[in-house]
Amino acid sequence: MAKAKTTGAMNRQDYESAVEPMELELNRVARWVQRQGRRVVIIFEGRDTAGKGGVINAIASALNPRQAHIVALPKPSEDERTQWYFQRYIAHLPSAGQIALLDRSWYNRAGVEKVMGYCTDAEYKRFLKQAPVFEKLLVDDGIVLLKYWLTVDQAQQEIRFRERLDDPLKRWKLSPIDLKAREKYREYGKARDAMLEATHTRHAPWTLVDFNDQRRGRLTLIRHLLDKVPEIEVPEQPIDFAPLEHAPLTERFDGPLKPIRSV
C-alpha cells in the first residue's frame, strides 16, 4: 500500500502559502463531482491526536457545506447496537454530486472496539470479512472510495495529549478513552496491521500518510487526494453581477430591536 512520507517541520506562513492553491484545486474537484454526479467517500482513520479533524476541516473549509459534509458519528445507540454493523453508516453515504468526509468510520470496529474490548471476537472477525465485501459493493455502484490512515509516533502523540490537557480550548478532545488508550500503543499497532492486511484491497486500497508534522501531513494528503481525481477542468458558471440601479440603501429597523454596535 502507498505511504506518503513527510519530513521536517513547517511553519504556519509556509503552510498557508502552500495550501491556498490546493484550495482552488479542491473547488475544481467539487465542480467536477457535481457536474458528473459522482459520489465521493473519503475515510480518515489513525491514532488519537494524529490530526484527522485538522485535515478534514482544511478540506471542508474550502468547499460548499451543502455539497461536502463531515460525518463524525457518536457511539452507537442501544437500537444501533442491534442492527447490522454497517447499517448506521449507510444513511450517511453521499447522493449524486456530494462528498462525505468520514472522521472515523466503520473501522472503529477494527481499532478502538477491538483494542478496548467493546466488541466480541466473533464480531471483530466478522467485520474483517465483511468490510472488503461492503466496500466492493460501494465501489461497484460507482462510489469513489478513498481511505487514509494518519500515522504518528508515540512521542509525538504524548506531546499532543499534553497540549490538549494544558489548553482549555482543546481539553474537550481528551476523552477518558484516550487516556486509557495511551497504555495500549502497541496493541493499537497490532490491530492496525491486522486491519490493513484484511482490508487493503485493489478496489479500496489504504494510503498511509506521515502526520508527525501535521501541516506537512495535511498538504501531503490533500495533494494525494487531488492527484486521484481526473484532471478535468470544469469552468465556473458566470455570474452577472450588475451594478445597482439606485444608490446603496442603509439597513433600517423600525421596531424596538436595534443591532449591537462594535466598541
The 10s digit of each residue's pLDDT in 17-30 is 999 999 999 999 99
DSSP classification of residue 164: H
Query: What is the structure's pLDDT at 108?
Result: 96
What confidence category does residue 171 fall into, taking pLDDT thresholds of 50, 70 and 90?
confident
Percent of the chain beyond pLDDT 70?
Answer: 96
235 lies in a domain? no
Q: Give the model's pLDDT for residue 117.
A: 94
In a domain, 259, yes or no: no
**Whether the predicted pLDDT of 85 surpasses 70:** yes
Distance CA 116, CA 181 (A): 8
Number of domains in the chain: 1
Entry pTM: 0.88
Residue 183 has pLDDT above 90, yes or no: no
In a domain, 238, yes or no: no
* Domain boundaries, position 215: 2-227
pLDDT category at 182 given cuts 50, 70, 90 is confident
**Strand pairing category for 206-210 and 2-4:** parallel
Would you say residue 243 lies in a domain? Answer: no
* Domain membership flag for residue 260: no
- pLDDT category at 1 given cuts 50, 70, 90 is low
Per-residue pLDDT at 213: 96
pLDDT at 215 over 90: yes
| CATH code for the domain in which residue 106 is found | 3.40.50.300
Question: What is the C-alpha separation between 98 and 94, in angstroms, rounded?
Answer: 5
pLDDT attached to residue 231 = 67
Task: Let me know if residue 236 belongs to a domain.
Answer: no
Sign of CA dihedral 34, 93, 195, 158: positive
Lowest mean pLDDT among 146-155, 170-179, 198-207, 232-241: 232-241
Inside any domain, residue 109: yes
Query: Could you give the 3-state DSSP secondary structure of residue 198?
Result: helix
The answer to whether residue 6 scores a pLDDT higher than 60 is no
> Which residues lie closer than 8 Å to 152 by C-beta, 6 or more apart?
46, 47, 49, 50, 51, 160, 211, 212
DSSP string spanning 203-248? SS-EEEEE-SSHHHHHHHHHHHHHHTS-----PPPP---PPPSSPP
Domain for residue 10, yes or no? yes
